[in-house]
Amino acid sequence: MKAPSAAILLCVCLWASQAFASNARALFLRGELPGGGHTQPCAGCHGLDGGGRREGGLQAPALDTESLTDRAGASGYDGGALARLLADGRTPDGRNIDRVMPRIVIDAPLADELLGFLGSLRAEDSAGVEQEGIRIGVFVARADDALPALFAAAVVRWSEGGQIFGRRILVEPVNEADLRRRASSLFAIVGLTAAQREIEATLTKNGLLNLFPRHPFEGDEDADRNRGLTPDFTALGQALGAAASECGSVSIDDDDARRAPSLFAAMKRELKPGPSMTRKCRISLGGVPLLATDEHLIAPLDVVAGRLDEMKARPAGATLIDIRPASSEDTTVEIRALSDALRFADAGALVLVDGLIRAGRRLTRSRFMQALDTAVLAPPGWRKIDYRQYRLSGVVETNRIELGAGAARH
């Protein structure tokens, strides 16, 4: 059988790229099979771009349609040939592939869909990388959102005048309507807020990189598509829970638990039965901060628990939780609110530029994300960012925890 023509491959590629959450994508990225079965994800050995890589001392070959066709020679691949390869390990030209590759049985429609998806991999992984530049969207949370301009200026400061290997870094303000319409043309989106949580998973499943959102991750996001500057809810809950146990017992009512389920589940796991509070946690400044200017609040943990979710949702800049004794006699939690979009933009831009440089001239989304795992960065005024140890969040600290960052009001 002859190799598929360029026209056929193009049609299949376009069709597959429109399958927003296809079975082929689920199989390739997560090893999910129709009907609820699981196998080893193809991307685990062959890479997110299907370009092949070394895994466990073996070289996994490229899986994109062009590479498959080249290796198969005149025989070529169609859906049936791909299904036979996966089921019995035999290529169209009669070769047997290594037994390390899992054997799975898929039906003809899924085999056809998978072949089309493999044809779209290179284009999807290179989305937003153009001859004239690399398109980075920065989310506009409201009309006076300062983050896009601050981020663009920080990119220029950290790079050679806003260029990497001769390509300009094109920082573009993007609102939610733009994002829904133009996601496939962007390399990454920066600075999404909690209000976009419901579309984040859909965007990243379709390949878009979600960088430095202005909210903590839940902890179960795909680290191959998401990277933050903040710890996830679980780490936060553990830190608050540890402090709570030293204050005595802390009650969390059902209404609060429903508002932030993952946070409070983590806190409940950490809380231990203890004596009644012999050393009262206290409010030293009173009330809950408005988060508009730099403030400090020493609060009892039940107040913190009841207001934490509400405070994160406000456009306030960086919100820090600093757990330490307020005096030699009291165990308290200090909440410090900083309206500091500039510092957030500066840290994010440094990570972005460093990753683009490390990814090299043949830039793709997957190469960039892999590059983030090769360095430890310490932006001025920020804590150490280490995606090698904390792939999703970049940092976990139990004494000082950054919850999120947003644009300053000024």
- Tell me the CA distances in angstroms from 99 to 40, 104, 135, 211, 280, one per residue in order: 13, 12, 41, 37, 64
Q: For domain 6-125, say whether CATH 1.10.760 is its number.
A: yes
Amino acid 396: pLDDT: 54
Helix, strand, coil fractions of the chain, as percent rounded to 5: 40, 15, 45
For residue range 351-408, list pLDDT tens digits in order: 999 999 999 998 999 899 999 999 899 887 676 889 988 888 887 543 333 333 322 2
Amino acid 277: pLDDT: 32
Overall average pLDDT of the 311-320 stretch: 33
- Per-position b or e across 92-111, b if 16+ CB within 10 A of its CB: beeeeeeeebeeeebeeebb
Please give the mean pLDDT across all residues of the chain.
69
Percent of the chain with pLDDT over 90: 20
For residue range 49-108, list pLDDT tens digits in order: 777 777 667 777 877 667 776 676 555 678 888 888 888 888 887 788 777 788 888 888
- Residue of 93 and 274 predicted with greater confidence: 93
Amino acid 211: pLDDT: 97
Structure tokens at 292: 């508009």
Mode of pairing for the β-strands spanning 133-139 and 188-190: parallel
Structure tokens at 85: 């390869």
Structure tokens at 188: 């990454």
- Residue of 215 and 233 predicted with greater confidence: 215
Give the start-to-end residue ranges of the domains of the chain: 6-125
Instruction: Identify whether the C-beta of residue 123 lies closer than 8 Å to the C-beta of residue 68.
Output: no
Which of 56-60, 117-121, 343-347 has the largest mean confidence?
343-347
Instruction: Identify whether the C-beta of residue 134 lies closer than 8 Å to the C-beta of residue 363.
Output: yes
Amino acid 75: pLDDT: 59
Amino acid 265: pLDDT: 52
Overall average pLDDT of the 341-360 stretch: 91
- Residue of 259 and 394 predicted with greater confidence: 394
pTM: 0.62
